[in-house]
Chains A and B, each alone.
Chain A
Amino acid sequence: MNSPGVIAITGLGSFLGRTLVRRLLQRTPEIRIVGLDQRRPFRLDPLVRFHTIDLTEPTADSRVAEVLAEERAEVVVHTAFRSEPTADLEMDHELETIGSLHVMNACAATKVKRLVVTSSTMLYGPRPDNPNFLTEQHPLRGHPGSHSVSNRIQVESLLAQWRARNPDTEVTVLRNCWIFGPTYWDHVARYFSRPLVPKLIGYDPLMQFVHEDDSSHALESATLHPHPGVFNVVGQGVLPLSTILRIAGKRILPAPPAILYRMANYPSQGQSGDPPEGFYDYLRYLWVADGQRGWDAFGEPIYTTREAWMSFISTRRMRRYR
């Protein structure tokens, strides 16, 4: 395996950044990793050189550029995104959009060899007029009710412009669908682990999940090997939402959209800062992505959608075994 040089990871404390470090060090302990984050993560591996950088600061781009130049980083992995939407909309925009812009500017200044950015298939948006399988060329239409999705769409369009201006850097974008697994936790996992799961009555879209191992495997191989382009990182197979909930033995609270979309103060909704349709439309319409390009590049995923879901519910002990 050719040595990829120094790898810089922004958002070291995020799930994907953390697992990437662990996987890289397990495979090649002599690999050199530079970590950047707002604060020092717990249980940081001593082999990782850590720098405290707040991407929301106005001068963050020059600070990142300094660090990248000082450490001679060749690969930058940008994972500094929130795993769940926050009610602080302004801060979210600062971190996700402007923070990504800072990282891109720093990469342009130091001429890194490769830039890997994680993204989400939620960016395609749940639409009744989506084809059953969305390819990477499909326009990112997002959802007007979800601010984190809108921010990420801005990031991707900025990144597309950046890529045109910096043709020497290989840019990889990994669009993950909803990640499930024994340790991954975000607002989607929290929604599904409630004892009583609200569900739109009369709608039963096909869902698609990816296991956390497959997701971090894709990120690892995109970091180590050149895979320029955009890839959907998804599991194989689809399952209807109702089957998913039945497998988990959930009690379902069926509600018509007219009522559910007015429950903006429902406990979990208040935290996200979005109106309810920003989340529930993803459980209403289809937004399944076509993973063939990603599977060709990174190998077939180990877990199917169903197995990813089973792994999640069995570790959370959701299934009521009788």
Chain B
Amino acid sequence: MSDEIDLETPIDAEPPHVLSPELRDALDRLRGEIRTRFPERHRVPVETIDWMALIQQIQRRVSTLGMSERSGTVDEFGMDEIVLRRARPLLELLYEHYWRIELHGIDRIPDTGPCLFVANRSGLLPYDGLMVSHAIWRRRSKLRPRFMVADWLITLPFVQPFLARLGGVRACRENAERLIRSGESVLVFPEGQKGAAKVFRERYRLKRFGRGGVVRVALETRIPIIPIGIVGPEEAHPILFKWGAPARMVGLPFLPVTPTFPLLGPLGFLPLPTKWVIQIGEPISIDHLAPDAASDELLISRMNEELRSKIQVLIDTGLSDRSSVWD
């Protein structure tokens, strides 16, 4: 068979050049003569702007604008990879240059399996959750703990969708257990609203750790608890006192009065550039405990208190190591 298909040459390759040099010269001369005889046909047209096409193009751009900055799908708790990727330079800027965060003890995180990170909470907006989860992700690219956000932040317009796209999850036991069962690490702040509402003179004194829900989740899902002490964010939003009356009108638990907030208007939302230190403590293993330990209330409350004191120690060492709030 002679009609074999030639697989070597691509189909749309240029045909071989067959013109002889004489023919090419003749053609060039002919083109030159046409140009001299009919000059008006070869005048360069004036560049006119097609306004309709331009408007249509702009409309098309605007209508697809919303989709280019988000993924078509989000994960089941609303985290969006594209939003996260776009926010990364901003998070990096805050991390490196604004708060100049130091991270100690990253090697204490186990290499495999999900963990329950427990940290102290401070400031109204959850910058600390964002930063800790970003800090761990920078060093361990596979691990990005989902940070838990207090209930009342969920009701805030604009804040909640943004936090959910960046990986925040409403703080409750069902969510924590579901995340851990699907293999994700979780970062919780068991002080809750009491921690966020600390005024400046109570700073770095840990509040009660709820009713031991954190320990219970760890015992039920059998994963290690890793205490984290964060030093710095308390001074980023120093709450001088709480102002109740105007806050109740907009549905907030209280309105924090900081040195900048009501005075400078929206500019007051900017946190101060304090120096942050994130210390990761030794994991508290629960492997030695019996499988039914989750129903032992006394054990839970003892472990809860132990966890609280460990985080307090981490904070205190961080506080004594630093020379000032700003560096």
Mask for A25-57, Cβ within 8 A of B = 1, else 0? 000000000000000000000000000000000
At the interface, yes or no: A65 with Cβ under 8 Å from chain B? Answer: no
Q: Are B67 and A246 in contact (CB under 8 A)?
A: yes
Q: Are A240 and B161 in contact (CB under 8 A)?
A: yes
Nearest 5 A/B pairs, CB to CB: A202-B157, A204-B161, A131-B174, A202-B158, A128-B155
A308 → chain B closest CB, angstroms: 13
Q: Are A128 and B154 in contact (CB under 8 A)?
A: yes
At the interface, yes or no: B306 with Cβ under 8 Å from chain A? Answer: no
Q: Which of A133, A239, A246 contacts B74 (CB 8 A)?
A: A239
CA distance A206 to B76 in the complex (A): 9
- A203-B161 contact, Cβ under 8 Å, with A128-B154, A132-B169, A132-B175: yes
Mask for B124-149, Cβ within 8 A of A = 1, else 0? 00000000000000000000000000
CA distance A135 to B177 in the complex (A): 13
Give the residues in chain B near A129, CB-CB below 8 Å: 151, 154, 170, 172
CA distance A275 to B17 in the complex (A): 78
Which residues A150-184 have CB closer than 8 A to chain B?
none
CA distance A128 to B77 in the complex (A): 14
Task: Name A138's closest neighbour in chain B (CB-CB).
Answer: B174
- A243-B175 contact, Cβ under 8 Å, with A132-B169, A203-B160, A206-B78: no
CA distance A94 to B285 in the complex (A): 58
- A246-B158 contact, Cβ under 8 Å, with A128-B151, A131-B170: no
Q: Are A238 and B157 in contact (CB under 8 A)?
A: no
Q: Beyond the given A128-B154, A135-B174, A238-B74, could you list 14 further A-B residue pairs with CB under 8 A, ordered by the A residue number?
A: A133-B175, A202-B158, A202-B161, A204-B164, A206-B74, A240-B70, A243-B67, A246-B70, A247-B67, A256-B157, A285-B154, A320-B63, A322-B60, A322-B63
Q: Are B70 and A243 in contact (CB under 8 A)?
A: yes
Give the residues in chain B near A243, CB-CB below 8 Å: 67, 70, 72, 74
At the interface, yes or no: B66 with Cβ under 8 Å from chain A? Answer: yes
Mask for A176-198, Cβ within 8 A of B = 1, else 0? 00000000000000000000000
- Which of the four size classes fits the interface of chain A? 20 to 34
Which of B's residues lie within 8 Å of A, judged by CB? 60, 63, 66-67, 70, 72-74, 76-78, 80, 151-152, 154-158, 160-161, 164-165, 169-170, 172, 174-175, 178
Which residues A108-151 have CB closer than 8 A to chain B?
128-129, 131-133, 135
Task: Name B152's closest neighbour in chain A (CB-CB).
Answer: A128
At the interface, yes or no: A306 with Cβ under 8 Å from chain B? Answer: yes
At the interface, yes or no: A86 with Cβ under 8 Å from chain B? Answer: no
Q: Are B63 and A133 in contact (CB under 8 A)?
A: no
- A306-B72 contact, Cβ under 8 Å, with A128-B155, A204-B161, A246-B66: yes
Give the residues in chain B near A91, CB-CB below 8 Å: none
B280 → chain A closest CB, angstroms: 27
At the interface, yes or no: A237 with Cβ under 8 Å from chain B? Answer: yes
Give the residues in chain A near B80, CB-CB below 8 Å: 240
A232 → chain B closest CB, angstroms: 14
Give the residues in chain B near A135, CB-CB below 8 Å: 174
Q: Is the interface of A mostly helix, strand, loop or mixed?
A: loop
Give the residues in chain B near A285, CB-CB below 8 Å: 154-155
Mask for A295-322, Cβ within 8 A of B = 1, else 0? 0000000000010000000000000101
At the interface, yes or no: A242 with Cβ under 8 Å from chain B? Answer: yes
At the interface, yes or no: A5 with Cβ under 8 Å from chain B? Answer: no
A57 → chain B closest CB, angstroms: 44
At the interface, yes or no: A249 with Cβ under 8 Å from chain B? Answer: yes
At the interface, yes or no: A263 with Cβ under 8 Å from chain B? Answer: no
CA distance A249 to B62 in the complex (A): 11
Could you list 23 examples of A-B contacts with CB < 8 Å?
A: A128-B151, A128-B152, A129-B172, A131-B174, A131-B175, A132-B76, A132-B78, A132-B169, A132-B175, A133-B175, A202-B156, A202-B157, A203-B157, A203-B160, A206-B74, A206-B164, A239-B74, A240-B164, A242-B70, A242-B161, A243-B67, A285-B155, A320-B63
At the interface, yes or no: A253 with Cβ under 8 Å from chain B? Answer: no
Q: Which of A133, A200, A240, A249 contacts B178 (CB 8 A)?
A: A133
CA distance A204 to B160 in the complex (A): 8
Give the residues in chain B near A87, CB-CB below 8 Å: none
Give the residues in chain B near A201, CB-CB below 8 Å: 157
Give the residues in chain A near B172, CB-CB below 8 Å: 129, 131
Q: Which of B73, B169, B175 contacts A306 (CB 8 A)?
A: B73
Task: Name B169's closest neighbour in chain A (CB-CB).
Answer: A132
Q: Are B157 and A133 in contact (CB under 8 A)?
A: no
B58 → chain A closest CB, angstroms: 12
CA distance A204 to B156 in the complex (A): 11
Task: Name B178's closest neighbour in chain A (CB-CB).
Answer: A133
Give the residues in chain A near B77, CB-CB below 8 Å: 132
Give the residues in chain A near B178, CB-CB below 8 Å: 131-133
CA distance A297 to B94 in the complex (A): 48
Task: Name B159's closest neighbour in chain A (CB-CB).
Answer: A202
CA distance A237 to B154 in the complex (A): 21
